[in-house]
Amino acid sequence: MPLLSIIIPCYNSADSLDKTLLSLTQQVERNFQIIAVDHGSNDQTQAVVERYQSTLALAYYKIPRQHFTSGEPRDFGAKKADAPFLAFLDAGIIVPSFYTQAHIAFHQKNPHHVGIGFQHGQRSDLAGARWIELLQTISIDKAGELVSGNPDLSDIRTVDPVKDLGRFIWYFGWSANLSMPTEAYKAVGGFDLDFEGWGFEDCALCYMLMKHGLQFAFVENGWGIDLPHKRSSWQNRKEQLHFNWRHFYRKQKDLDLEALRYAEMGQATLITFRYLQSLGRTYTDLPALPQSVLEQVTHPSLLIGGTPQDADNFSYIALANETVISTDTLWSCSGILIPLADHSLETVVVSDMWKWLNRSFIVDLALTPPDPTILAGVKSEIPARVSLLECMIAEIKRTARQALFVNSSSFVDISERSHASTTILADLCHQYGLPFQIIS
């Protein structure tokens, strides 16, 4: 039995696949199999595979391209895997001779980990072209020495402070070069095949693996170099990524995913998550909802800032509690981003927690244009510091007919968080054209 199954998805990428397979013939550790999954190609992909079947343990499958999602060929290949460890590798990435040895050794030493392999040269085709020139003068095994001090050649994850992102390191598990225990992949159900096109399918898989209890680390010497190949525009891929995030968020309704999308990754994501998490822990100390509020609730309804004990009075409740496994009605997320379709609610009730949302984290809308349905109604100037409160009000306007904000006279300041005033709240509601009441 092989120790490692390498899944290579391909679509009209015969030349790129050829380079990847050639690099895999040079491996020191030979106890691996390759499963190439052709997602409806009409080029010479099959002929390329046939040239290597005498030198590699290489299986080839061709599946129809009826509904394109990047996860489909990877999932198909994973279901054919025989090895205890599974690696996903993109066609067009060439690897050093110690690649398979590095991934196998990593998982033998770390049985409950996902292994992230660097993808040097992925920043632009220009970087990939430079790698082609450099590899004419040095061997690929020596190429790793050029990464240090050359951020334009290296994987972006070698430069950014990934190690400081804590629980969010799963977001950097990209399936261009990624490995894991095969049983863990099966346990979480594999890739979400309801996604569209490219984007977030690998992050969603890694999120599920994180929730399943796996840890994440980078695989030393498990890197590859991404050579130039045709890509759709970054704007197109970013729109697809946002579309798929929204699909996944509406399934999971999770605090991690909410903080991730609000803060657009980086240290602000972890700070946002911790802040919302701390809010959720204070909800049990909030005053009970006044009867005058409950009498005005029309359904479907959402309570932002409640506890499971409020469930009988609302269709949905946002708990801001990452330990909760979300259901259709009880959500782990905080409600800053509402995991529902447009105009799907009659009433949103916001407990006294709105007073703690007068906090802003950098959301540079000029550099990271939002998905049309995420922060869609945000009216702050660009670049902006969009407060949690403003984001929430924009989302309520998108999803609901009216909002009721609780302003309890018995409210006690239980923290040092800066509070929003009723004036700030009213001004934002007027700005967004949101019908609202503030009920004491």
Q: 172: number of CA atoms within 13 Å, CB side?
A: 27
CB 50 within 8 A of CB 17: no
Q: Which two tokens stand for residue 222?
A: 């498990």
DSSP letter at 8 equals E
246 shares a domain with 311: no
| Among the listed residues 22, 5, 436, the one whose alpha carbon sits nearest the alpha carbon of residue 224 | 22
- 283 and 235 assigned to the same domain: no
| pLDDT value at residue 417 | 54
At 234 the pLDDT is 65
pLDDT of residue 65: 87
In Å, what is the CA distance from 412 to each residue of 15, 284, 309, 420?
66, 13, 21, 14
Cα gap 291→320, rounded to integer Å: 23
The domain that contains 116 carries what CATH number?
A: 3.90.550.10
309, 243: one domain: no
> What's the pLDDT at 79?
96
Question: Which CA distances in Å does 366 have to 62, 174, 328, 374, 376?
Answer: 42, 25, 34, 14, 14
Per-residue pLDDT at 203: 94
**Residue corresponding to tokens 């400081």:** 164
Structure tokens at 20: 């990847």
Q: Is 190 found in the same domain as 91? A: yes
* Res 150: pLDDT: 81
Give φ, ψ of 162 to 5 degrees: -60, -35
Are 361 and 327 part of one and the same domain?
Answer: yes
One domain for residues 39 and 173: yes
End position of a domain, from candidates 231, 252, 273: 252
pLDDT at 242: 84
pLDDT tens per residue across span 240-283: 888 899 999 999 999 999 998 888 756 678 888 999 999 999 88
Identity of the residue numbered 18: D
Say if residue 236 is in the same domain as residue 280. Answer: no
Q: Are residues 221 and 139 in the same domain?
A: yes
pLDDT digits (tens, 9 = 90+) for 386-421: 889 999 999 999 999 999 999 987 655 545 556 789
Range of the domain at 410: 256-439
106 with 144, same domain: the answer is yes
User: In the sheet where 58-63 sits, what is the strand order?
Assistant: 58-63, 32-39, 4-10, 85-89, 177-181, 113-116, 215-218
Residue 32 shares a structural domain with residue 46: yes
Domain count within the chain: 2
Are residues 199 and 308 both part of a single domain?
no
List, for the chain, all residue ranges whose pLDDT scores fall below the cut of 50: 364-374, 376, 381-383, 414
Q: Are residues 278 and 409 in the same domain?
A: yes
The predicted structure's pLDDT at residue 374: 44
Predicted TM-score (pTM) of this structure: 0.89
pLDDT given for residue 164 in this prediction:
62
Place of tokens 């399918």: 201
Residue among 420, 386, 395, 390 at smallest CA distance from 406: 420
